[in-house]
Amino acid sequence: MESRQDGRKWEAVGRLEIAGDAFCTGALIAPDLVLTAAHCLFDPATGAAVPTDEIQFLAGWRNGRAAAYRRVRQAVHLPDYDFSGPTDTNRVRKDLALIELQHPIRNTTITPFATHPRPEQGAEVGVVSYAHNRSEAPSLQEMCNVISRQQGILILSCEVDFGASGSPVFTFDKDGTPSIVSIVSAKAKDETNGKPISLATSLEGPLDTLRALLSNGAGLTSGLVRQAAGDRKDTGAKFIKP
């Protein structure tokens, strides 16, 4: 079991509370920037963007308390992401969002994560998330592997569940320092063997685009929720909608 001390390294991972009745996972990559999935910006019932004043980032949320609470100034997703479009792999590869907080988190116990290019096929990775069975604390799931890389999508052997949307996918250097290489978009099943897998969005290119959009003030100032789906011929995976 993860100890409280072990959990401190994940305090830059937090719950994104959305309109009071849903949540995703997000991670700080700068004192005022949270990386998550684009579908976490939309209401799944209506397809409408959730107003940013109804979103809150709870850094290091654990057992009813957060290390820091922040409201959202603006949020951006990739320009060609279409929440109402077909639930296919094209939506997964565009399923990335960047949130600017109203005020930076400057806390010595909360250190934003570095980002790195996507890992190679076969690389070992780990997912840190809030899911329905661990929604009160962030935890590192058992390590898993990159099964393949396909046009901006990472197919992972990681098994994820509801609430893991937007979760950071980490690689670790020799001293164990984590860096974010991808963001969880959807859970799926491998059609060849029926095993659960997950699909994650590559940061290469899209993250630079999101940073530029924020810098230009192109973010949603009244806009954000949850899960994606897939295309057999691209991934060999059967997607599961939440």
pLDDT of residue 132: 55
- What band does 180 get if pLDDT is binned at 50, 70 and 90? very high
Distance CA(136)–CA(130), nearest Å, equals 7
Mean pLDDT of 194-217: 91
The CATH code of the domain that includes 144 is: 2.40.10.10
- How many structural domains are present in the chain? 1
φ/ψ of 201, rounded to 5, equals: -95, 130
Q: Give 130's strand partners.
A: none
Joined together, the tokens standing for residue 28 give 């700080």
Burial of 162-187, coded b for 16+ CB within 10 Å and e otherwise, reads: bbbbbbbbbbeeeeeebbbbbbbbbb
Bigger pLDDT: 50 vs 232: 50
- Residue with token string 């991972």: 13
Which of 4, 96, 83 shows the shortest CA–CA distance to 45? 83
Mean pLDDT of 167-187: 92
Identify the domain containing residue 33 by its residue range: 4-239
pLDDT of residue 163: 67
Q: Give me the amino acid identity at 49.
A: A
Mean pLDDT of 50-69: 91
pLDDT of residue 108: 86
Distance CA(17)–CA(23), nearest Å, equals 5
Cα 15 to its chain centre, rounded Å, is 10
pLDDT of residue 208: 94
pLDDT of residue 46: 87
Each residue's pLDDT tens digit, 91-137: 899 999 999 999 999 988 899 999 998 888 999 999 998 765 555 66
pLDDT of residue 16: 92
